[in-house]
């Protein structure tokens, strides 16, 4: 049982015995003691003054005396500052808590049972006319991490993807391939299928722009305004008309068009799968808009019959949401074709038939906030019990130091290129260091580079609150100093090196196998430990090593931080904010490096202290591995 829980129960018992009042546990407020006061946890006594009918100081003294007398294995002593009871926890209690953490590989995580709520999370949602880009990378990493966090909070989780595999944008790529492809395939070109199709999407836009401009020049020469000329050129463009005709044929089930569509989509899916594997993400179920849009139309027709929607004179179907403070929303066009909202309704119908969903979470950019506000209302009207409470995990855009990305102009930051660059940068940065590892093969060095490069990418994206826009800087993300993935991974590798040396009977404290112990004069990878120690406020004048019995204040603070991991997992799940976990891992790694800087571990002569510090090292490594795992980030045994 955790210390806070034991204290809470004891305070409840104290209030009943001292003042004859039964109180709920929620009334007991225990906070971490402020640094300027002695103590570990502070009880706020003001809520109990009406019961005690005494001054705050006297009430705190009475409760403190009760705790020392009735819970001596937990409470060593106390002090009172006005209405606050500062409690000093016994060393043996901290040691027991450390043992509890070490013995529980699932520390901080809630178990999942067959009776756990079922949460479905949709993420990725790519179009089959282009490869995945940096925006998709953020989406996929957020979706995967959120799924892990929700599972860590005791939920069953189904990870889903909805693929946008139909529409005019798909036909543009198909038509361009027919016109200029000369029968190219991924095999004949050596290109991933999604990249090959993306090239033709860009080619279509390039030819279309040229054609449109030529038409505009003609119309302007005939006396039309530029705006009118542009509108007419777009309407009469032969290339765009061909694309629209192809879409009509697809809708009608034309065998030739459908066959080409299936072939080209299969190329794209193979390419997507390769990127997903590199990102370390996956799905339990994939839905396709080509299968869901008809279901959506049927559901809208059903709502029309029930009077939930209405039909206008032109035949289009609308939902009147003015009573909900919104506007009127188009659901079916006058020609009977569906819109995105209709497709989402159809997808929801299929999902509800496939799974007994308790909560639905959509990981989609914040430009769709209004869309999901409307979807929630419509699904609730149509009888989906989770519709009213659906969650739009809304995230901001990703920008680069040199600006935004544009798909049609072929200037996006391609996901595959980004992944390759991150791994290559990690390999180059650690080349000299990795070569110092004993008996390492090229394959092992490449694997370390992959883990570090992907860890840098994932952590840099996930440490930012998803609701905010972010600037992605590859150079900053790969840094081994500061709030980065490699810093945390390096801390883990350092600890694992210490533990290996302890098993071998070594008496010298260890750096990771990257190098010898860091020296302030060294530059690069190894100097981050000293920098981290300084940033934690660790001091060399002995203040950091002031001891309370067997354990120092620094060690107790580290155990407290480990104990708080579960609370961080709960907060991340409640707030749908995976950055909470990322920043917890950073703070823990930073605190460990402060401890490592000031306290000998393998060189400690006192056997009890050495054993405890090794146990503390192992617990930190365990929690770092668990926390980073929730983010989909691997941690290497050696670096």
Give the count of alpha carbons within 13 A of 500, CB side only.
12
CA dihedral sign, ordered 345, 348, 352, 358: negative
Distances (CA, A) of 325 to 317, 373, 375, 381: 19, 11, 14, 15
The CA-CA-CA angle for residues 568, 154, 277, to 5°, reads 85
For 613, the token pair is: 């510090």
Cα–Cα distance for residue pair 593/613, rounded to 1 Å: 13
- Residue 532's pLDDT band (boundaries 50, 70, 90)? very low
Give the count of alpha carbons within 13 A of 626, CB side only.
25
For 112, the token pair is: 């999942």
Strand partners, 288: 163
Rg value, the chain, Cα = 30
Mean pLDDT of 495-510: 84
Instruction: Give pLDDT, residue 436.
Output: 59
pLDDT at 465 exceeding the cut of 60: yes
Q: Which residue has the higher pLDDT, 503 or 2?
A: 503
Strands 30-32 and 551-552 turn out to be unpaired
pLDDT digits 0-9 by tens, 375-422:
999 999 999 989 999 999 999 988 777 654 444 444 568 899 999 999
Instruction: Give pLDDT, residue 482.
Output: 87
- Pair 198, 171: CB distance under 8 Å: no
Confidence (pTM): 0.87
Rounded to the nearest integer, the mean pLDDT of the chain is 89
Torsion region of 53: left, alpha or beta (phi above 0 gives left; psi -120 to 50 gives alpha):
left
pLDDT above 70 coverage of the chain, percent: 90
| Domain covering 418-630 in this structure, CATH number | 1.10.730.10
Nearest CA to 283 among 138, 175, 409, 159? 159
Strands (E), 533-580: 547-548, 551-552
Inter-helix orientation angle 91-103/607-630, to 10° = 50
Give the count of alpha carbons within 13 A of 124, CB side only.
29
Q: How many of the other CB atoms lie within 10 Å of CB of 388?
A: 11
Domain locations along the chain: 3-89, 165-282, 418-630
Architecture of domain 3-89: 2-Layer Sandwich (3.30)
Q: How many of the other CB atoms lie within 10 Å of CB of 546?
A: 9
Q: What is the DSSP letter of 346?
A: H
Cα–Cα distance for residue pair 162/122, rounded to 1 Å: 7
Cα–Cα distance for residue pair 89/15, rounded to 1 Å: 20
Q: Residues with Cβ < 8 Å from 434, sequence gap 6 or more? A: 440, 445, 448, 449, 514, 639
Cα–Cα distance for residue pair 482/531, rounded to 1 Å: 8
Q: Which residue has the higher pLDDT, 548 or 501?
A: 501
- Residue 629's pLDDT band (boundaries 50, 70, 90)? very high
pLDDT digits 0-9 by tens, 159-206:
999 999 999 999 999 999 999 999 999 999 999 999 999 999 999 999
Q: 589: burial class by Cβ within 10 Å (0-12, 13-18, 19+)? A: buried
Cα–Cα distance for residue pair 407/276, rounded to 1 Å: 19
The CA-CA-CA angle for residues 353, 359, 362, to 5°, reads 90
Q: Is 154 helix (H, G, I), strand (E, B) or coil?
A: coil
pLDDT digits 0-9 by tens, 289-347:
999 999 999 999 999 999 999 999 999 999 999 999 999 999 998 988 888 899 999 99
pLDDT digits 0-9 by tens, 113-169:
999 999 999 999 999 999 999 999 999 999 999 999 999 999 999 999 999 999 999
Q: What share of the chain is helix, strand, coil (3-state, %, to 5)?
A: 55, 10, 30
Nearest CA to 516 among 501, 538, 532? 501
For 42, the token pair is: 């502070």
- Pair 482, 583: CB distance under 8 Å: no
């Amino acid at each position: 049982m955790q210390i806070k829980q034991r204290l809470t129960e004891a305070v409840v018992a104290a209030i009943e015995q001292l003042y004859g009042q039964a109180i709920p546990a929620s009334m007991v407020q225990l906070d971490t003691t402020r640094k300027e006061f002695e103590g570990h946890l502070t009880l706020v006594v003001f809520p109990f003054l009406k019961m005690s009918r005494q001054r705050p100081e006297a009430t705190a003294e009475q409760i403190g005396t009760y705790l020392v007398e009735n819970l001596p294995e937990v409470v060593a002593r106390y002090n009172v500052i006005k209405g606050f009871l500062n409690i000093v926890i016994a060393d043996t209690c901290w040691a027991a808590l450390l043992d509890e953490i070490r013995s529980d590989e699932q520390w901080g995580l809630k178990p999942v049972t067959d009776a756990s709520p079922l949460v479905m999370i949709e993420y990725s949602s790519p179009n089959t006319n282009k490869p995945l880009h940096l925006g998709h990378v953020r989406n996929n990493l957020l979706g995967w991490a959120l799924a892990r966090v929700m599972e860590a909070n005791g939920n069953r989780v189904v990870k889903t993807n909805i693929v946008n595999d139909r529409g005019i944008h798909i036909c543009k790529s198909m038509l361009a391939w027919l016109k200029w492809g000369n029968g190219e395939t991924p095999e004949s070109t050596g290109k991933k299928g999604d990249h090959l199709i993306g090239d033709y999407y860009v080619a279509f836009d390039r030819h279309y722009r040229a054609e449109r401009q030529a038409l505009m020049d003609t119309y302007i020469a005939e006396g039309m305004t530029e705006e009118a000329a542009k509108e007419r050129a777009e309407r009469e463009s032969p290339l765009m008309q061909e694309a629209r005709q192809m879409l009509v044929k697809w809708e009608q089930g034309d065998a030739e068009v459908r066959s080409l569509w299936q072939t080209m989509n299969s190329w794209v899916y193979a390419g997507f799968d390769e990127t997903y594997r590199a990102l370390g993400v996956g799905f339990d179920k994939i839905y396709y808009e080509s299968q869901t849009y008809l279901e959506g139309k049927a559901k809208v027709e059903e709502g029309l019959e029930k009077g939930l929607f209405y039909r206008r004179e032109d035949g289009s179907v609308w939902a009147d949401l003015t009573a909900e403070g919104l506007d009127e929303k188009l659901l079916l066009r006058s020609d009977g074709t569906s819109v995105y909202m209709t497709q989402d309704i159809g997808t929801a119908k299929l999902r509800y038939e496939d799974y007994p969903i308790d909560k639905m979470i959509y990981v989609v950019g914040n430009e769709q906030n209004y869309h999901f506000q409307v979807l929630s209302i419509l699904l609730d009207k149509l009888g989906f019990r989770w519709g009213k409470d659906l969650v739009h995990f809304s995230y901001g855009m990703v920008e680069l130091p040199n600006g935004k990305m544009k798909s049609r102009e072929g200037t996006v930051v391609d996901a595959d290129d980004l992944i390759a660059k991150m791994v290559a940068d990690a390999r180059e940065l650690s080349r000299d260091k990795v070569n110092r590892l004993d008996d390492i093969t090229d394959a092992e060095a490449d694997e370390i580079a992959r883990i570090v490069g992907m860890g840098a990418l994932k952590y840099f994206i996930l440490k930012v609150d998803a609701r905010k826009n972010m600037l992605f800087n590859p150079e900053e993300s790969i840094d081994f100093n500061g709030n980065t993935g490699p810093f945390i991974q390096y801390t883990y590798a350092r600890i694992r090196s210490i533990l290996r040396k302890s098993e071998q009977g070594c008496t010298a404290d260890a750096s990771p196998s990257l190098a010898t112990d860091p020296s302030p004069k060294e530059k690069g990878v190894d100097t981050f430990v000293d920098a981290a120690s300084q940033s934690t406020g660790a001091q060399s004048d002995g203040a950091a090593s002031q001891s309370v019995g067997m354990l120092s204040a620094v060690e107790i603070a580290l155990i407290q931080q480990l104990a708080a991991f579960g609370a961080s997992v709960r907060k991340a799940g409640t707030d749908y904010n995976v950055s909470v976990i990322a920043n917890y891992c950073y703070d823990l790694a930073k605190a460990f490096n402060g401890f490592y800087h000031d306290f000998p571990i393998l060189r400690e002569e006192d056997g009890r202290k050495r054993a405890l510090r090794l146990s503390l090292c192992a617990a930190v490594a365990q929690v770092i591995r668990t926390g980073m795992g929730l983010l989909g980030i691997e941690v290497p045994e050696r670096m």
